[in-house]
């Protein structure tokens, strides 16, 4: 009669689960980085061309309106595609970008394309919440748009941005698990291969447990960071 | 220093148009405090914003120090705005930045000083507004009055010659309002700063302004020195604004329905410290009852304003008394 500890230790799938966890973390981390790098400027662009920031000059206002509509439609299209469909649709593009549509590398482009529009909208909404008086004060100071973005918009929304990044990170953990379906690697891949295709319940349960812990961890870290920022002001 | 010529502003919406300002001419001289007062919706805020082109006039011209700035754009407009400070009703500070950082912002924007010089300038400004000890605090840790002081320090950072005040005390309690107004007067004197302020409160005007323009439905209906406008208001809007601050109310004649003469006597300026009224009574030999009175100072100018009733029998001796009043520096208006 072996002890529970020995049973757990002799469980033959630990190495694979370990690799899967590392893969999931890598996918989430890398795709989150690119999502923020792309989504943040797009969100700022959406806000700057949006209805609240229209120029008094007719030509500029028209340019803003076109930019806004183009970006907004693109964002909406990407957000309306179910992730699984996007994953499949993007296979040729993914191959072209990273050379493969499989594994960790292959899942990053679709993850970014799915999450960046979502994050951009979050950023746009955060900026809309900023007191318009602050922007007016900057205009009256003679600040450039660049100065206003860097010194007013980003600092004023920073706690909100951290919260938005947390939400996006959690969404990405979920999406990355889904990419397992088409051989994306990571914990989702494990759950599909062992749990779904081979009825290996322990592997599936452990995988799900790890995902739950990851999400809780990310949320807790995000919350703590936001709380610390909010204490300052 | 500041001049508007026929400034008008019309807002267009798909269904309607709204004339916020029509044909506004104001001239503000260097170093004076110029007040613009009106009811809400009269267009005061729009007018103030045309001065630094936060609102661009639809018609007319805006001149700053003799230069037509109406069509400035881009870099020249930004440089102009750096020379005009503005403070707001709701302060519009960055809540994520300390007092020190908020005040430093205009210096970063104009980029003329290095970091050390910026920090030193901020220290000077905080000293000026009395907030040296709060430099490391965040705006939410300050009271409303302190926040407005931060706003003032920020507005003065680039040493502007002009300060615009957009309802700067309307969100503050009376006591704090008074201290902010005193600060504005102090910097007006110390820095020889030209101040344009808008308000809906006559008390603000009479504490700080040298001259005043009354705005109604987008037009200037009356303007002049504060003393002139206060003691001899001509327009109905002016009278009602004065009534709200307790200076003017024309109920006196209604309260005493008989045929005894009722006269309004006003005086202001040097000489007001003398016992003018008692001298008038003594020398004219006429006694009168004071129905209404307002005595005090308009900024630094002493004034008095009385509505008096004379005995019915005094009607024929009235011209002589009024002549005497004229001689000792009391102006009059026969109400009945």
**pLDDT tens-digit readout, A9-56:** 777 788 888 888 888 899 999 999 999 999 999 999 999 999 888 887
pLDDT of residue A197: 78
Locate B276 and state its tokens.
């003018």
Locate B268 and state its tokens.
């202001």
pLDDT of residue A201: 82
Select the residue of A136, A143, A232 nearest B92 (Cβ to Cβ): A136
Cα(A153)–Cα(A125) distance, integer angstroms: 12
B33-66 b/e (C-beta count within 10 Å ≥ 16 → b):
bbbbbbbeebbbbbbbbbbbbbbbbbebebbbee
**Ordered per-residue pLDDT tens for chain B, 336 residues:** 899 999 999 988 888 888 899 999 999 999 999 999 998 888 999 999 999 999 999 999 999 998 999 999 889 999 999 999 999 999 999 999 999 999 999 999 999 899 999 999 999 999 999 999 999 999 999 999 999 999 999 999 999 999 999 999 988 998 999 999 999 999 999 999 999 999 988 888 988 999 999 999 999 999 999 988 888 888 888 888 887 766 666 665 566 667 788 888 888 887 777 788 888 888 888 888 888 888 888 887 888 888 888 888 878 888 888 888 888 888 888 887
pLDDT of residue B326: 86
CB contact under 8 A, B88 and A136: yes
The SS3 call for residue B208 is helix
Q: Which domains does chain A have, with CATH numbers?
A: 12-228 (1.10.3720.10)
CATH 3.20.20.100, domain B2-236, yes or no: no
Chain B residues 133-172 within an 8 A CB cutoff of chain A: 138-140, 154
CB contact under 8 A, A232 and B138: yes
Lowest-confidence pick of A97-101, A194-198, A221-225: A194-198
Confidence category of residue A1, pLDDT binned at 50, 70, 90: low
pLDDT of residue B179: 92
Going by their DSSP bridges, the two strands B33-38 and B211-216 should be labelled as parallel
Q: Compute and round to an integer the Cα radius of gyration of chain B.
A: 24
Which residues of B fall within a CB distance of 8 Å from A56? 56
CB contact under 8 A, A151 and B105: yes
- Give the residue range(s) of CATH 3.40.50.300 domains in chain B: 2-236
Residue of B nearest to A139 (CA): B54
Half-sphere exposure in the Cβ direction for A126 (13 Å, CA):
26
pLDDT of residue B256: 64
The SS3 call for residue B198 is strand
**Contact indicator for B68, B88 with CB cutoff of 8 Å:** no
pLDDT of residue B275: 80
Which residues of B fall within a CB distance of 8 Å from A151? 94, 105, 108
A184 has a pLDDT exceeding 60: yes
Burial grade of A110 (CB within 10 A; 0-12, 13-18, 19 or more): buried
CB contact under 8 A, A140 and B81: yes
DSSP string, A127-167: HHHS-HHHHHHHHHHT--HHHHIIIIIHHHHHHHHHHHHHH
Cα(A83)–Cα(A95) distance, integer angstroms: 17
Query: The complex's ipTM?
Result: 0.84
CA of B51, closest CA in chain A: separation in Å?
Answer: 11
CB contact under 8 A, B88 and A147: no
Q: For the whole model, what pTM was predicted?
A: 0.84
Smallest CA-to-CA distance from A139 within B266, B33, B311, B92 is with B92
Task: Locate the DSSP E strands across B134-261.
Answer: 162-166, 194-199, 211-216, 219-225
Locate B21 and state its tokens.
């300002």
* B58 contact A CB<8A: no
Which residues of B fall within a CB distance of 8 Å from A147? 108-109
pLDDT of residue B182: 93
pLDDT of residue B289: 84
* B315 contact A CB<8A: no
Q: Which CATH code for domain B252-334?
A: 3.30.70.260
Interface size, chain A vs chain B, as Cβ–Cβ contacts under 8 Å: 67
B3 DSSP β-pair partners:
B27, B63
| Inter-axis angle of helices A201-232 and A14-49, nearest 10 | 40
Select the residue of B86, B97, B110 nearest A155 (Cβ to Cβ): B97
DSSP string, B253-289: HHHS-SS--EEEEEEESTTTTS-HHHHHHHHHT---E
The CA–CA distances, whole Å, from B37 to A38, A96, B43, B187, B238 equal: 49, 66, 10, 21, 9
* A233 contact B CB<8A: yes
**Contact indicator for B26, B223 with CB cutoff of 8 Å:** yes
- Give the residue range(s) of CATH 3.30.70.260 domains in chain B: 252-334
B262 DSSP β-pair partners:
B309
A128 has a pLDDT exceeding 90: yes
Q: What is the DSSP letter of A113?
A: H
**Contact indicator for B233, B207 with CB cutoff of 8 Å:** no
* B13 contact A CB<8A: no
Tens digit of pLDDT for each residue in A99-120?
A: 887 888 888 999 999 999 999 9
């Amino acid at each position: 009669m072996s002890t529970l500890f020995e049973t757990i230790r002799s469980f033959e799938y630990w190495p694979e689960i370990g690799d899967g966890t590392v893969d999931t973390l890598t996918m989430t981390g890398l795709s989150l980085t690119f999502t923020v790098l792309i989504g943040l400027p797009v969100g700022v662009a959406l806000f700057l061309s949006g209805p609240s920031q229209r120029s008094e000059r007719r030509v500029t206002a028209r340019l803003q309106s076109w930019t806004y509509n183009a970006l907004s439609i693109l964002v909406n299209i990407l957000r309306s595609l179910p992730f699984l469909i996007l994953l499949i649709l993007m296979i040729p593009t993914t191959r072209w970008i990273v050379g493969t549509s499989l594994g960790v590398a292959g899942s990053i482009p679709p993850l970014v394309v799915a999450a960046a529009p979502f994050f951009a909208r979050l950023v746009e909404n955060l900026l809309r919440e900023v007191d318009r008086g602050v922007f007016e004060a900057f205009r009256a100071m003679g600040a450039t748009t660049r100065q206003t973005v860097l010194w007013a918009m980003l600092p004023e929304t920073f706690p909100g941005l951290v919260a938005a990044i947390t939400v996006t990170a959690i969404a990405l953990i979920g999406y990355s698990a889904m990419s397992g379906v088409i051989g994306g690697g990571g914990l989702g891949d494990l759950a599909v291969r062992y749990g779904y295709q081979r009825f290996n319940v322990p592997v599936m349960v452990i995988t799900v447990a790890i995902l739950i812990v990851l999400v809780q961890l990310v949320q807790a870290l995000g919350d703590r960071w936001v709380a610390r920022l909010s204490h300052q002001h | 220093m500041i001049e508007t010529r026929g400034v008008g502003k019309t807002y267009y919406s798909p269904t309607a148009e709204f004339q916020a300002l029509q044909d506004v001419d104001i001239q503000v001289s260097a170093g004076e405090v110029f007040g613009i007062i009106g009811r809400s919706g009269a267009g005061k805020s729009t007018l103030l914003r045309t001065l630094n082109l936060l609102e661009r006039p639809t018609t007319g011209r805006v001149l700053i120090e003799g230069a037509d700035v109406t069509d400035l754009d881009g870099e020249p407009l930004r440089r102009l705005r750096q020379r005009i400070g503005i403070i707001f009703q709701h302060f519009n500070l960055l809540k994520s930045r300390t007092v020190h950082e908020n005040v430093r912002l205009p210096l970063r924007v104009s980029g003329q000083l290095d970091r050390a010089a910026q920090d030193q300038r901020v220290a000077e400004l905080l000293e000026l507004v009395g907030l040296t000890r709060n430099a490391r605090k965040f705006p939410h840790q300050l009271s409303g009055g302190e926040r407005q002081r931060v706003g003032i320090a920020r507005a003065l950072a680039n040493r502007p010659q002009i300060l615009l005040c957009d309802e700067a005390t309307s969100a503050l309690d009376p006591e704090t309002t008074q201290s902010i107004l005193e600060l504005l007067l102090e910097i007006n004197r110390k820095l020889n700063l030209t101040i344009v302020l808008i308000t809906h409160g006559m008390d603000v005007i009479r504490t700080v302004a040298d001259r005043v323009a009354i705005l109604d439905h987008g037009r200037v209906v009356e303007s002049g020195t504060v003393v002139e406008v206060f003691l001899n208001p001509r327009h109905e809007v002016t009278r009602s604004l004065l009534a709200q601050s307790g200076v003017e109310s024309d109920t006196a004649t209604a309260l005493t329905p008989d045929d005894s003469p009722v006269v309004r006597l006003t005086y202001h300026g040097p000489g007001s410290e003398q016992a003018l009224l008692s001298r008038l009574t003594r020398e004219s030999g006429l006694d009168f009852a004071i129905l209404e009175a307002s005595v005090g100072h308009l900024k630094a100018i002493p004034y008095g304003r009385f509505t008096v009733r004379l005995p019915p029998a005094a009607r024929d001796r009235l011209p002589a008394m009024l002549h005497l009043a004229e001689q000792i520096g009391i102006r009059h208006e026969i109400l009945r």
